[in-house]
Amino acid sequence: AGGCFWCMEESFDKVTGVIKSISGYSGGHVKNPTYKQVIYKDTGHVEAITVFYNPKLTSYEKLLDVFWANIDPFDADGQFCDKGKSYRSVAFYDNLKQKKLIQDSIINIEEKFNKKKVVTLVWKFEKFYAAETYHQDYYQNNFLRYLAYKSGCQREKILKKIWN
């Protein structure tokens, strides 16, 4: 979960070995939530994507690197212009190996940034709910609107400032 699921979907779809990504919701207590519920009510869910990939062509570690490069790990209030609980960054894990990889990467980031605290949450993955159809592949199907949104949020500018 890295704020806007449209932006995360675009970032992961570019990775060699990624078969597809799906926008949706995860981490909450409401079954089959809608976008409006997730954004305007306390469902506990965050906007997230699920990523299907070929482990012969990429790895969880590589996907974790892509995740970090596309979020602001120091913003506890959301991501870029999207603020609120449903836009917090969350690194989900399926097993203890993945959890350790996340924790180690957080330590490395904090060391790189002179002990600045990473506030990205680390949650055990439980359930993923696909978002409504109009959210899927939004960055491709609504290209101009998507670019206007991404530009207005200054996502790329902020990411360059953090990571370069």
Q: Specify whether the CB–CB gap between 47 and 1 falls below 8 A.
A: yes
Q: Is the dihedral of CA 131, 132, 137, 143 positive or negative?
A: negative
User: What burial class does residue 101 get, using C-beta atoms within 10 Å of its C-beta: 0-12 exposed, 13-18 middle, 19+ buried?
Assistant: middle
For the chain, how many helices (H) and strands (E)?
A: 7, 7
Count the Cβ atoms, other than its own, within 10 Å of residue 129: 19
Kindly give, in sequence order, each residue whose CB lies less than 8 Å from that of residue 9, ignoring residues fewer than 6 positions away: 21, 22, 23, 49, 137, 138, 139
Catalytic residues: 4
The token pair at 117 is 């605290």
Q: Is the dihedral of CA 150, 156, 158, 163 positive or negative?
A: positive
